[in-house]
Structure 1
Amino acid sequence: MTASALNLLTDIPGLAVGHATDQRLGSGVTAVLFDRPTIAAVHVGGGAPGTRDTALLGGDATVERVDAIVLSGGSTFGLDAAGGVQAWLREQGRGQVFAGLPIPLAPQAILFDLLNGGDKDWGRFPPYRDLGYAAARAAAPGGFALGSVGAGTGATTATVKGGLGSASGVTASGHRVAAIVAVNAVGSPLVGDGPHFWAAPFEEGAEFGGLGLPRRFTPDDLRPRLKGGAPTATTIGLVVTDAVLSKAQAKRLAIMADDGLARAVLPAHAPTDGDTVFAAATGARPGADLAALGHLATLVMARAIARGVHAATALPWAGAQPSWRDRFGG
């Protein structure tokens, strides 16, 4: 179950990823666009989620396929981003036809990054619709940036700067699974005060430093490390496979991918977290074992979280949370 090709979500054929990053705002948007309507589901593990159109993905809902998934900063202000993604898709003639009218479907999750020191004095209307449009317009197959970009721009954790991460892998049967995630956790991705990552057992090569786990764990390593003050949390992500799955099976994949979040961040799914994981299946390759896909989804989500934190850089102003690289080098 090694990493494949770029070690990014775009190792799955049939999708594109785009970022819109506003360093002055200290926030941004990431859009994942599917080449054709794609089976999708969602699992919400956190106690304070912020989402748009996720009811469409429920098991009792009629709609099975979506055109895009949107990840954004901005708390509930950021929910405008999906409107921008929809606008770009509509201009391209994209969308599923309802009563003769094509309507692009772009479910979304947001994270809280309003207290990271950026300039949030945006006037009457928040900028996220325009950022969503820009992210969709920038979407492309192939490589994309990790760290303090897109939805991970303003992300933080309890110990070091958060960010946007991605990772991929291949099952023994040849099915691909990949994850993308914006890490803005109320907990910590690090063992104790670092530098080791909780996701270390799942690392491929030295994709987030190659440090492994510490030789021993102390009681201090295991005590909870939490953001103080107002709730400023939520880790949001998406796992995609090229397998043929039903909507119910995609839901199970999302649940198992969420286990990867809980292995990479401690604690996870807290009362002030809005942890949300989407899952999608492009259906290009039949014959998958769902348990094997879910196992790999757990691993790639954990790795993506550590990669996002490892690649992050501090926001460009005094008092911004230091990054892993600021604290530990490399």
Structure 2
Amino acid sequence: MRVVAAMSGGVDSAVAAARMLAAGHEVVGVHLALSRSAATLRESARGCCTIEDAGDARRVADVLGIPFYVWDLADRFERDVIADFTAEYAAGRTPNPCLRCNEKIKFAALLDKALALGFDAVATGHYAQVVERPDGLGGVQRELHRAVDPAKDQSYVLGVLDAEQLAHAFFPLGDTVKTQVREEAAERGFYVARKPDSHDICFIPDGDTRGWLGRRLGEAPGDIVDTSGEVLGRHAGAFAYTVGQRRGLALSRPAADGQPRYVVEVRPDSNQVVVGTADLLGVDLVTGTHARWCGPAPEGEVRVGAQVRAHGEEFPATATAGTGPDGDEVVVRLDSRIRGVAPGQSVVLYDGTRVVGSATITASRLQRSPA
């Protein structure tokens, strides 16, 4: 196969490219330029896609002896990821930009361009597995599964891939733990073998999401209130808060019962942040839209595992797809209450280790009374 290896400049994508080459594929390395003003140096382990990263990726490609290109997708990234991220927070929701990047950039813009140029697939350094099974029609069906290394598993952020995208995707690291990847990189003589992992949001390298949003959206002072409407403090912008947040509330006085308080709702229309006790965060019914299925959409009510955070716990649940006026709604009924589910997050559904699909959370509530 002719394969585009997406090379971020980190150790994972370097080893992924090497493994695709060793498997006999014709590999071309591509680094995505996603920033309109990339910094020359990263800040510690934060961020990615800098000029330094492009140079690291090129050095790996030189060691492997494969062609290497930089594709400028900065405008597309700004529109589909950064602007979406900003708009979601402004609307009182909590998005996951990594899912949107995988859906819109790596497995849409990048994959579409690769296929148009005559390539067969895109390979990345994500920790997930693709399993092929007979489809009953003489062909194979590709399934997305969790990685063998639970600490590095990234199947959650890949839950937005549909069956067509999955048919052209390779994740060579899914059967490997991170220490083995670094050892392999060192054995191959890659300079990036000990390079720190990037983390947090790549376009906010200092990790200050609140400050970044404030610069993009401007200050919008408003009230922090309790569930009865009593004003407990002030904020500089409701967009800087998310459901389940406890720190940084700067309330004027403690609760009468001494219990800690959390954000339980963000109201962009009135520019209010509502706080309450932890028991108000528990929900057992989640509704989502923008359903994305990694294979055939489930029919009727099915048993699933539900995960609402990238490295969060999976919870037993029942899901029903195809609901709502447009048939694009998914209703997830959890067996037990979970806390801190915010609109804008994604719920990813599993059948064992297999990723069934995902939806963007629009609402959550407590359906059953606490025991």
TM-score of the superposition, structure 2-length normalised? 0.25
- Larger strand percent: 2
TM-score of the superposition, structure 1-length normalised? 0.27
Larger of the two Rg values belongs to structure: 2
Structure having greater relative contact order (Cα 8 Å, sep ≥ 6): 1
